Structure 1
Amino acid sequence: MAKLVALDAGHGINTAGKRTPDNEREWSFNNQVLLAAQKRLAEYEDVKVLRLDDPTGKTDVPLIDRTNKANKAKADVLVSIHHNANTGKWGNWTGTETFTYTPASANPKSVALAKAVHPKLVKAMGLNDRGLKAADFHMVRESKMPAILTEGGYMDSVVDIKALRSDARLKLAGIAIADGVAAYLGLKLKAVEKPKPTPTKPKPAPTQSEALKPVAKDDMYRVKVEGKQVGAYASDQNVLEQIEKALKGDKKKIEVERV
C-alpha cells in the first residue's frame, strides 16, 4: 500500500510579518523547498504527496484546515516547511532547526522522523545546526501522524539569507527532506530503465562514381590515373584506399598531387 506524505509550505505569500527585512516572502522560500521535496519523492516507489497549503500562496489556509486535511486523509507523516525570523531586522543569528510537539519524549515516532530528516537538512542548507527541539506548534500538536516542522534558516540573518536566496540551496533542502522521509518510511527508489541503444546500419562501400566524386574543401588532392584526372578529394579522406576500391584492385599508375 502506498505511503502518503503530507507536505505544508507554511503561511501564505501575503501573511503579515512573514518576510525578510527586504520584503521577500517566507512562503516563497517554503514553496521552493516543498516543490523540490515533492519532485524528489516522485522518484520513490509506492508514495503519494498530499499538499496542505494553497499551491498559489494567495490564501493563508487556516492551520486547523491543514491538519484536518492530513488527518482525514490518514497521512503517514507530515512535514511543515518554514524559515525562521528573529527581530525582523538584519542580524548575525543563524541556523537550521527541526521541531516536534512537546514533550519530545511523548512523541517517539515524530522524533524518529525528525532524526531522519534534520541531519540531511542541515547539510543541505550549510548553516549552523541548532538541533532538534520541541514546541507547542499547531502543525505538530494537532497531527495524528508523526509530524515535524522545519526551520531551514533565518530570513532576517545576513548569514542565512545567502542560502535562502539560492534556488540551488533550497532545492537541496527539499531533496534532503524527501530523502529523510523516505528513509523513515523505508521507501525504495524506482528502478531507472536504461534507454536501449539505437541500432546503426553500416555504411555501404562507395561506388566507383562516388569514390571519384570531387569534394568541395579548401585543402584538396587531385588524383590522376594513367595521367588522366579522375577526381579531387579532401585531405581527411584515405585517398589511396578510395581509389583502389574504385578501381577494384586494378594496379594502374595513380598520381596524387595537392591542388
Structure 2
Amino acid sequence: MVKIVLDAGHGLNTPGKRSPDGEREWCFNNEVINACTEKLATYENVQVMRVDDPTGKTDVSLRKRTDLANRWNADIYVAVHHNANTGKWGSWTGVETYVMDSPTVGSTSLKLARLVGPQIAKAMGLKDRGVKRANFHVLRETKMPAILTEGGFMDSLIDIKALRSKEKLKKQGETLAEVLAVYLKLQPKLEKKFI
C-alpha cells in the first residue's frame, strides 16, 4: 500500500494569505487537493492522508502536520500552495516547486519535483520557474520525500486568471495525481464489468 500525504497549506483565515482582492489562498489550495485526492482514488493500493484541516477553519500547526506524516510512515508528502510576491498586483508569473533533501531521503524529492513542476505549470497554462531549495518546515521535518508546490502567484495579474478558474485548479490537482501515479508506479483500478 502506497501512502501519500497531502497538505493544503495554511488555514482559511490565516493572516496575509490572500490575493490583493481578498481571495484566500486556502481556497485555491483546497480545490487542487480535492481534485488530486479524487483522482488518486482511481488507482489501486493507495491511501491518502490530509494533514491540514479539510474545512479550513483551523490552521493546523506545521509540527502536527509533519508528526502525523512521520507517524503514519508516509511514502510521499506533497504540500500545495499558491505564491505571493509583494501583495500588490504585478506582472510576475509562474509555478515553482520546492525541495529540501534531508540526509535520510537523498535526492528523491528532487526527482519528484522535476517531474511535477513542468506538468502543473502546463496544466495551469503558466511559466515553469523551476525547482528551488528552501528550508521549509514541511520539507525539513518529514522523514519521506517531500515537495511543496506554488501553483501560481495570487498577486499576479497574469496568474490570477488561472487561479480563478475552477477548471484549471482541478486540472492542476488531477495532473499532480497523475505524476504521483507515474512516479510511484500506481496501477489504475480495473472497472468491474457486469454481464
TM-score category of the 2 structures, normalised to the smaller one: over 0.9
Q: Which residue of 2 aligns with 1:70?
A: 69
1:120 CA drift (Å): 1.6
Q: Which residue of 1 aligns with 2:171?
A: 172
TM-score by length of 2: 0.96
**Is 2:33–2:173's contact at 8 Å kept on the other side of the alignment?**
yes
1:171 and 1:92 map into 2 onto residues whose CA distance is 24
Matched, 1:140 2:139: yes
**Is 1:112–1:184's contact at 8 Å kept on the other side of the alignment?**
no
| SS of 2:91 mapped into structure 1 | coil
2:175 and 2:194 map into 1 onto residues whose CA distance is 28
Q: Which residue of 2 aligns with 1:44?
A: 43
| Paired residue type of 1:62 | S
1:195 CA drift (Å): 5.6
| Paired residue type of 2:76 | V
Q: Which residue of 2 aligns with 1:225?
A: none
| Paired residue type of 1:18 | K
1:122 CA drift (Å): 1.3
Unmatched runs of 5 consecutive residues or more in structure 2 = none
TM-score by length of 1: 0.72
1:36-76: CA deviations, max 9, x gaps?
A: 00000000000010000001000000000000000000000
1:102 CA drift (Å): 5.7
| Count of residues paired in the alignment | 194
1:107 and 1:40 map into 2 onto residues whose CA distance is 28
4+ residue runs over 3 A deviation: 193-196
| SS of 1:91 mapped into structure 2 | coil
Q: Which residue of 2 aligns with 1:206?
A: none
1:119 CA drift (Å): 2.1
Matched, 1:12 2:16: no
Matched, 1:185 2:184: yes
1:65 and 1:46 map into 2 onto residues whose CA distance is 26
**Is 1:101–1:107's contact at 8 Å kept on the other side of the alignment?**
no
| Identity of matched residues, % | 57
Matched, 1:113 2:109: no
**Is 2:13–2:57's contact at 8 Å kept on the other side of the alignment?**
yes
| SS of 2:12 mapped into structure 1 | coil
Aligned-residue CA RMSD (Å): 1.5
Q: Which residue of 2 aligns with 1:246?
A: none
Q: Which residue of 1 aligns with 2:91?
A: 92
| SS of 1:117 mapped into structure 2 | helix
Q: Which residue of 1 aligns with 2:55?
A: 56
1:181 CA drift (Å): 1.0
Higher RCO, Cα 8 Å, sep 6+:
2
Q: Which residue of 2 aligns with 1:156?
A: 155
1:86 and 1:192 map into 2 onto residues whose CA distance is 45
Q: Which residue of 2 aligns with 1:232?
A: none
1:103 CA drift (Å): 8.1
| SS of 2:82 mapped into structure 1 | strand
Q: Which residue of 1 aligns with 2:20?
A: 21
- The structure whose Rg is larger is 1
**Is 2:28–2:82's contact at 8 Å kept on the other side of the alignment?**
yes
1:171-203: CA deviations, max 9, x gaps?
A: 00001111111111110111123464xxxxxxx
Unmatched runs of 5 consecutive residues or more in structure 1 = 197-259
2:80 and 2:177 map into 1 onto residues whose CA distance is 12
Once the two structures are overlaid, the 10-residue window that deviates more, 117-126 or 139-148, is: 117-126
Q: Which residue of 1 aligns with 2:122?
A: 123
